[in-house]
Structure 1
Amino acid sequence: MVVGVLTYQQTQPDFETLSGESYRWEEFKGQWLVVNYFAEWCAPCLREMPELNALAADMPENSRVFTLNYDLKGREALRKMASDYNIEVAMIVAEKNTPLPVPRPSYLPATYIVGPDGDIRKTMMGEVTEAGIRDALGKLQSQSL
């Protein structure tokens, strides 16, 4: 009888942020997630970054905001982008096989709101504002009470 054996997959994080924090998506069960796809070549994406920074700086405890570069750049390129464009939101360092709770969008910018159950509750295509995301999040949260 084998007891207490962990498989490699169970002990590995699903993703890491640019700041070096490692997570498994299951850690966010019960929380609301805002996941924003962006790219350096996307002007609306860069225009909305201050809005996302403000949102991330003042989120309720049961909510998190992450950004994800559409082009799947390496850590150094992401670090440069974060510096060049003042991106303060937690940025996911993703590779092709990184598990994500949202699909790769067909165009940018794209923002997804993922509910506490892990299901995508809203997809916002195009440039977003802090107020627009807060409004959508508030409505979704009140529907799930």
Structure 2
Amino acid sequence: MFVKYPGIILLALTFGLAGCNGTEFQKASGEPLAWDSLRGEWVLVNYWAEWCKPCLEEIPELNALDRDERITVLAVNFDGVQDPALTELGERMGIEFTMLAEDPGPKLGWKLPVALPATFVVKPNGELLETRFGPQTEEQLEALIGNRQANSE
């Protein structure tokens, strides 16, 4: 069948891949988040776990960064906690930024971090700039973003 109807296969692949442009992730709240809706903003995808003391230390810093209209912070639970348990855990830990119900890494071509906390820094054009390990401060990340914006202007 593949040899007999190659045009149909090409057409099916074209339509199948066209649907991949709109990458979406599910938030812990159950709502979808379109990755393309974050274009024009710096995105910090932070991997964390309840047992990770440095993760806990950086939550207030990330909360502050998320209040900056140029930056969106997304939380990914390293242990795969799901549904209401994830929302409850995030509230208990003081996470005010958006928590994702799934790891965006596989869809974005990222590997699971080897250490926690891990923060993937994504430029406003959607390109991964770098991955940072260890607790980050608001000052460190603001400096990185500010330096990158100054260099691109």
The two structures have a TM-score, normalised by structure 1, of: 0.81
**1: distance between equivalents of 2:107 and 2:113?**
15
Alignment of 1:1-145 (within 5 A): 10=19, 14-57=24-67, 59-60=68-69, 62-94=70-102, 99-100=107-108, 102-145=110-153
- Note closer, same or farther for the CA distance 1:48–1:69 as it changes in structure 2 (3 Å cut): same
**Structure 1: any 5+ residue segments left out of the alignment?**
1-5
- Whichever residue aligns with residue 28 of structure 1, its letter is L
- Note closer, same or farther for the CA distance 1:135–1:39 as it changes in structure 2 (3 Å cut): same
| Aligned-pair CA distance for 1:41 | 1.0
4+ residue stretches of structure 1 with deviation over 6 A? none
| Aligned-pair CA distance for 1:31 | 2.5
CA contact (8 A) 1:13 1:22 kept: no
**Structure 2: any 5+ residue segments left out of the alignment?**
1-14
| % identical equivalent positions | 35
- Whichever residue aligns with residue 136 of structure 1, its letter is L
Q: How many residues align?
A: 139
- Whichever residue aligns with residue 34 of structure 2, its letter is R
| Aligned-pair CA distance for 1:101 | 6.3
- Note closer, same or farther for the CA distance 1:141–1:43 as it changes in structure 2 (3 Å cut): same
Range with bigger deviation, 14-23 or 106-115: 14-23
- Over the residues paired in the alignment, what is the CA RMSD in angstroms? 2.7
Range with bigger deviation, 106-115 or 12-21: 12-21
- Whichever residue aligns with residue 56 of structure 2, its letter is L
| Aligned-pair CA distance for 1:100 | 4.0
The two structures have a TM-score, normalised by structure 2, of: 0.77
- Whichever residue aligns with residue 130 of structure 2, its letter is K
Q: Deviation digits for residues 77-122 of structure 1, max 9, x if unmatched?
A: 2112112111111111116996246432111011111012222112
